[in-house]
């Protein structure tokens, strides 16, 4: 690190709000915090917060990334380490180990590009939001590994998800505490998360109608059978639910494996349509 860079870094930190801000972000590690969370935690006005975050980012101590409508900020621990090393690398005649291993006080070095990779918001829509979309939401939360935020909704939502569906998810190790049936209109207001993908799971050939959520998100139709129409004994219905679970999971595993950073919107749309066709053909 050049001395001018060290001077800039220490000068930026020589202010109470910025020092508190950096300490708060450091406590969150590589996952960082949303700007709104930071403002609430520090009780700082948004305009003031923006000024201080800008200064920290300009000095290379903080980085930001957009996730939907939110901007997430995180400490650049590598840069912070450089500042500490700058203070100690000449210690005791060039033997900084005699000054104590200060660098170990910081978290391990992380790959900042991976840590701050933006997450995609994915909405699953079906008629009653009681089975197919509920299954998809739960599955994506697991297979998405933090890179995808899963949501589900219905055009004419039921009062609650089908109990058999929740029981099957719990039996397969999923947390169902946050799963509920709701209207897709809950996710269209100004404060709603911006959707990157909208996947409709309606069984269109059987007369179900799905909403038009506009051109901005990438959309695709993945028709799956409605578990509410499954017939037979409890054992037979469980077998059908297991089969449906497997079908949805295979599509989502293929979806999350797509090289999003190398494909444009049209190419991703084409790949999603291909997965929808495979879902239709597998039935």
190 and 261 fall within a common domain? yes
- Say how many C-beta atoms besides its own lie within 10 A of residue 96's C-beta: 17
Q: Is 237 exposed, middle or buried (0-12, 13-18, 19+ CB in 10 A)?
A: middle
166 and 241 fall within a common domain? yes
So what's the pLDDT on residue 66? 67
Per-residue DSSP letter, 107: P
124 and 107 fall within a common domain? no
So what's the pLDDT on residue 246? 92
So what's the pLDDT on residue 138? 95
Write out the two tokens for 137: 């939401």
111 and 182 fall within a common domain? no
129 and 216 fall within a common domain? yes
Helices (H), 43-127: 46-58, 77-88, 91-94, 112-115
27 and 99 fall within a common domain? yes
Per-residue DSSP letter, 126: E
139 and 270 fall within a common domain? yes
| Structure-model confidence comparison of residues 248 and 53, the more confident one | 248
| Residue 205, domain CATH | 3.40.50.2300
Each residue of 61-92: pLDDT tens digit?
888 776 656 678 888 877 777 777 777 666 66
| Residue 33, domain CATH | 1.10.10.10
* Boundary (domain end) residue, out of 85, 115, 145: 115
Each residue of 230-255: pLDDT tens digit?
888 888 989 999 999 999 999 999 99
Does residue 52 register a pLDDT over 80?
Answer: yes
The range of the structural domain enclosing residue 203 comes to 120-281
176 and 232 fall within a common domain? yes
84 and 209 fall within a common domain? no
162 and 231 fall within a common domain? yes
Domain tally, the chain? 2
């Amino acid at each position: 690190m050049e001395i001018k860079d060290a001077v800039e870094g220490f000068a930026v930190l020589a202010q109470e709000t910025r020092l508190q801000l950096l300490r708060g972000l450091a406590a969150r590690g590589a996952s960082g915090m949303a700007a709104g969370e930071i403002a609430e935690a520090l009780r700082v006005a948004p305009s003031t917060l923006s000024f201080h975050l800008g200064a920290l980012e300009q000095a290379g101590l903080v980085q930001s990334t957009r996730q939907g409508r939110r901007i997430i900020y995180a400490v650049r621990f590598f840069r912070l380490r450089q500042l500490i090393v700058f203070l100690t690398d000449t210690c005791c005649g060039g033997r900084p180990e005699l000054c104590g291993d200060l660098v170990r006080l910081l978290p391990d070095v992380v790959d900042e590009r991976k840590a701050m990779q933006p997450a995609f918001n994915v909405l699953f829509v079906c008629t009653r939001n009681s089975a197919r979309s509920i299954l998809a939401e739960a599955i994506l939360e697991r297979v998405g590994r933090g890179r995808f935020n899963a949501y589900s909704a219905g055009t004419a939502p039921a009062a609650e998800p089908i109990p058999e569906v929740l029981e099957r998810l719990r039996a397969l190790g999923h947390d169902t505490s946050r799963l509920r049936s709701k209207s897709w209109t809950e996710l269209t207001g100004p404060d709603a998360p911006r959707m990157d993908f909208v996947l409709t799971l309606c069984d269109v050939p059987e007369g179900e109608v799905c909403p038009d959520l506009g051109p901005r998100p990438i959309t695709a139709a993945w028709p799956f059978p409605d578990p509410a129409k499954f017939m037979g004994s409890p054992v037979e219905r469980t077998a059908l639910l297991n089969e449906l679970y497997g079908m949805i999971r295979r599509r989502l595993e293929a979806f999350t494996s797509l090289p999003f950073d190398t494909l444009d919107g049209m190419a991703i749309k084409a790949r999603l349509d291909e997965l929808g066709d495979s879902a239709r053909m597998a039935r």
